[in-house]
A and B are shown apart, each in its own frame.
Chain A
Amino acid sequence: MKIKISEKKDKLWLFTWIGGILLIWIWDMVFLNNPALRQIEEGFINTFIISFMVIIFSLFFAWMIIIIDTTVNNIRFKGIKLLLTFILNLLRSVPQIIGILAGYILLTYFITGNVINNHLLIILFIALIISLFVFQEIVDLMRERIDYFKKSDFFNAMSVCGISEFRIINYDILWKNSRIHLLNKLISIFGIAVFLQCSVDFIISVGLSTEISRVNLPVTLGGLLAKIDSKQDILAIGQIFGNPLYIINIFVEHLQGITIAFLIVFTLLSSYKISNGYSERYRL
């Protein structure tokens, strides 16, 4: 039984995550007021959509970089290669959180200037900003896989057979031999996206509240957590240390903040466990 569980840890944790969220949703339906529950639902869905879009954009950007890499190497255009390296290094040198914050400032300008006013476009823009600062992890992995296979005989053998480098890299290396590695990386990117998004939303709701309140940003878990009633709920946890029996009240009276915090932490923990289980199953 133990072997079977350890072999399918990723699936087990995926079901645990879904089950945990369903359980807390049912609990909230019973004990939490309706408007707060609707907000949490909206915040969770928006957070999930943004994080999922981050995965899509990051994968796309990383793949584009690899295509440019291959093309530039073939035509030996040093200027483009230098420019690309410079842009990537610049993005890597700026801490993710600062880059994303700068992106949010840009977004508020776009919203106030009426350049972006559609809810879906705002969500896509947020995903785009976050993916700009996380996609390099996928680029690194893709480059690592390509370098690994380039050292082996199979790359030279295929080249000699007249198969184009573009096909070898994209189909034979990335698609046929690195799919599992990439999927594992994408799971962890999902966790990183949730973390960064919640953190930035929390920061701007706490620190830039007067500026942002003029702008209508989508409701997310981070933003909801920064609300005064949610923060008070989290502060109430401290009371348990003085009065352990207060824990019962936490799950009934302070449900809004506790639910949001739990959703964030549980999603981060689950994505870590799923990614770990997945790499254990495929021995990555």
Chain B
Amino acid sequence: MVSVVIIGIFLLLQKQNEKVKQKTESKIESYLNSGFIDINDPLHKIIFKETLNHFYPHNKSQNDSLLSALSEYRANRLLQSIDKARNKIGVDRETLKKTLFMYLKFIAIYLIILILSYYGVQTIGVYRFIKKRQNKSSYLYLFIEHLNHKPENKNRTAYFFKAIIYLAKAIIKGFVYLILFSPAYVVAYSFKTEINTSSPLFMILLGVISNGMLILYSNKFYTFLITESRKGYIQNAIVKNMDNSYTFKKSGGIRRQSVFSFHKKFPGHVFQQIFSNTRYQYLTTFKEQASFLISSLIIIEMALNIQGYLSYELLQEALYKNYSMAILIVLGIFYIVKFTDITADWMLYRETRKYENKNI
């Protein structure tokens, strides 16, 4: 239904574009071809403006618009000779081909970021949960605590060294937090002099770490883990002596490798149940995360103003008032959103059937 609405708008705009273009151009050309006005001459321009204001004194703003339209028309004609493709209004095969390539590139970057963020969200969430269970305090708190317990004369160097380490770790953590919360354009401009910010690789990196996406959803995952760990069946399992140690070790406890692997498994540990059930809940928010990611990716491509990317093209089409092309790009993005929604629903359905002991 949404597709029908968007395609309807597209066809309407495509038709209207032609009409408006013909109408405006014929009006402007009649002035330009009149022979007595040389719009390049500032004196002619002023005289023409005054004449218009004299004959149409109540339409001063429209007169100004006509003058700027004349100038714009001239500029456009000049641009047309430089860049013919840019001034095409409507959709033709060549533009469509170019846009399709950008669309595929957008999908590829989107999928890579989606997979990386899916992994990142779970890994950060799990890591934070384990650190919490290990009763690790924040570095800033440890630093303050450390300062409050001054040693005797002995070991003063070690004491100061440890304090500096805590402080440095706290500063690095704060810096990382700032990057994670920074909008992509702030991060990109900060590194622009050092790194090629227009490469797809940098785009992927920005998509994963910036705009607050990773930190927001990893926090959601962490909250789900905390809530799940408080449930009765987990307490019951702990009472029945299931492995509940969260120290990093190879046998018993948690394996560090398992935390960082893509398919996280914690066999024989109570955390396996917590993690499995949390991942199921996380799938319900995955749609939301994917939708946020698309917005985030569009912001990155538009804000960095890099040619050859779909969102930049969308912005340019809007700038040049080629709305039929813009609406076609929006339709393409809409399909990505819907495809992601369907995939997320399917994943959730699969998982739900597993929980309900039904065959898939």
Q: In the bound complex, what is the Cα–Cα distance between A97 and B337 (angstroms)?
A: 13
In the complex, are the beta carbons of A202 and B185 less than 8 A apart?
A: yes
**Interface size of A in residues (CB-CB distance below 8 Å):** 42
Cβ of B190 < 8 Å from any Cβ of A?
yes
Task: Note all chain B residues with C-beta closer than 8 A to A207.
Answer: 302-303, 305, 312, 315-316, 319
Q: Which residues of A contact B191 (CB under 8 A)?
A: 237-238
7 A-B pairs closest in CB distance: A238-B193, A234-B189, A237-B190, A207-B315, A269-B181, A97-B295, A95-B295
**B168-203 contacts to A (CB < 8 Å):** 177-178, 181-183, 185-186, 189-194
A211 lies within 8 A of chain B by Cβ: yes
Contact with A along B211-233 (1 / 0, CB 8 A): 11001100100010000000000
Q: How far is the CB of B326 from chain A (nearest CB, A)?
A: 9
Q: Are B303 and A203 in contact (CB under 8 A)?
A: yes
Chosen A-B contacts, 11 in total, with CB atoms closer than 8 Å, are: A2-B137, A86-B2, A93-B338, A96-B291, A96-B295, A98-B295, A101-B318, A203-B299, A208-B319, A237-B191, A268-B212
The interface residues of chain A lying within 8 Å CB-to-CB of B137 are 2
Nearest CB in chain B: distance from A153 CB, A:
20
Chain B residues positioned under 8 Å from A272 (CB to CB): 181, 212, 215-216, 219
| Docked CA distance A203–B305 (Å) | 8
* A236 nearest CB neighbor, chain B only: B193
Residues of A within 8 A of B303 (CB): 199, 202-203, 206-207
- Contact assessment for A238 and B194 in the assembled complex, using a CB-CB cutoff below 8 Å: yes
Tell me if B160 is interfacial: C-beta within 8 Å of chain A: no
Partner of B334, one of A94, A97, A208, A276: A94
Identify which of residues 183-241 in chain A touch chain B, using a CB-to-CB cut-off of 8 Å.
Answer: 191, 195, 198-199, 202-203, 206-208, 210-211, 225, 231, 234-235, 237-239, 241
Q: How far is the CB of A215 from chain B (nearest CB, A)?
A: 13
B residues lining the A interface (CB < 8 Å) = 1-2, 5, 61, 137, 141, 177-178, 181-183, 185-186, 189-194, 211-212, 215-216, 219, 223, 291, 294-295, 298-299, 302-303, 305, 312, 314-316, 318-319, 330, 333-334, 337-338
Q: Which A residues touch B305, using CB under 8 A?
A: 206-207
Q: Which residues of B contact A90 (CB under 8 A)?
A: 2, 5
A268 contact from B181, B299, B315, B338, Cβ within 8 A: B181
A-side contacts of B190, CB under 8 Å? 234-235, 237-238
Residues on the B chain within 8 Å of A265, using CB: 178, 181-183, 186
Answer whether residue A261 sits at the interface, using C-beta atoms and an 8 A cutoff: yes
Q: Decide if A105 is an interface residue (CB 8 Å cutoff).
A: yes
Asked if residues B212 and A93 are in contact (CB atoms below 8 Å), the reply is no
Cross-chain contact B183 with A264 (CB below 8 angstroms): yes
Do the beta carbons of A208 and B181 come within 8 Å of each other? no
- Once bound together, how far apart are the Cα atoms of A96 and B297, in whole Å? 12
Bound Cα distance A149, B299 (Å): 39
Any chain B CB within 8 A of the CB of A177?
A: no
Complex: A237 Cα to B178 Cα, angstroms: 14
A73 at the interface (CB under 8 A from B): no
Return B180 CB to nearest CB of chain A, in Å.
9
Closest A residue to B219 by CB, please name it.
A276
A203: B residues at CB distance < 8 A: 299, 302-303, 315
| Chain B CB within 8 A of A89 CB | yes
Smallest CB-CB separation from A188: which chain B residue?
Answer: B216
Query: Chain A nearest CB: distance from B114 CB in Å?
Result: 14
Chain B residues closer than 8 Å to A279, beta-carbon distance: 223
CA distance A27 to B106 in the complex (A): 42
Overall SS of chain B's interface: helix
Minimal beta-carbon separation of A254 from chain B (angstroms):
11
- In the bound assembly, the distance between CA atoms of A203 and B301 in angstroms comes to 10
Q: Which residues of A contact B334 (CB under 8 A)?
A: 93-94
A264 touches B177 (CB 8 A): no
Write the chain A residue with the least CB distance to B5: A90
Q: How far is the CB of B139 from chain A (nearest CB, A)?
A: 14
A238 to B186, CA, bound (A): 11
| Contact (Cβ within 8 A) A95 B178 | no
Please, which residue of chain B has its CB at the minimum distance from the CB of A262? Answer: B178
- B181–A86 CB distance below 8 A: no
Q: Is B194 touching A241 in the complex (CB atoms < 8 A)?
A: yes
Residues of A within 8 A of B295 (CB): 95-98
Q: Is the CB of A269 within 8 A of B177?
A: yes
Residue of A98, A101, A238, A269 contacting most chain B CB atoms (<10 Å): A98
| Shortest Cβ distance from A234 into B: residue | B189
Please give, as numbers and ranges, the residues of chain B lying within 8 Å of A206 by CB-CB distance: 302-303, 305
A93 contact set on B, CB distance < 8 A? 2, 334, 337-338
- Please name 12 further chain A to chain B contacts, defined as beta carbons within 8 Å, in addition to the given A238-B191, A265-B178, A269-B177, sorted by A numbering: A97-B298, A98-B333, A198-B183, A199-B185, A207-B303, A208-B315, A211-B319, A238-B192, A238-B193, A265-B181, A265-B186, A268-B182
- Point out the residues of chain B lying under 8 angstroms from A276, CB to CB: 219
Interface centre among A86, A90, A225, A269, by most chain B C-beta atoms within 10 angstroms, is A269
Q: Is there contact, CB below 8 Å, between A199 and B299?
A: yes
- Could you tell me the distance between the alpha carbons of A261 and B188 in the complex, rounded to whole angstroms? 12
* A237 to B186 alpha-carbon distance, docked (Å): 10
| Contact assessment for B186 and A264 in the assembled complex, using a CB-CB cutoff below 8 Å | yes
B318 lies within 8 A of A195 (CB)? no
A211 (CB) vs chain B CBs: closest residue:
B319
Query: Would you give the shortest CB distance from B81 to chain A, in whole angstroms?
Result: 19
Q: How far is the CB of A284 from chain B (nearest CB, A)?
A: 9
Residue B2 contacts which of A89, A198, A235 (CB distance < 8 angstroms)? A89
- In the bound assembly, the distance between CA atoms of A242 and B191 in angstroms comes to 11
Bound CA span A156–B158, Å = 66
**A259–B314 alpha-carbon span in the complex (Å):** 31
A59–B137 Cα gap in the complex (Å)? 37
Least CB distance from A80 to B in Å reads 16
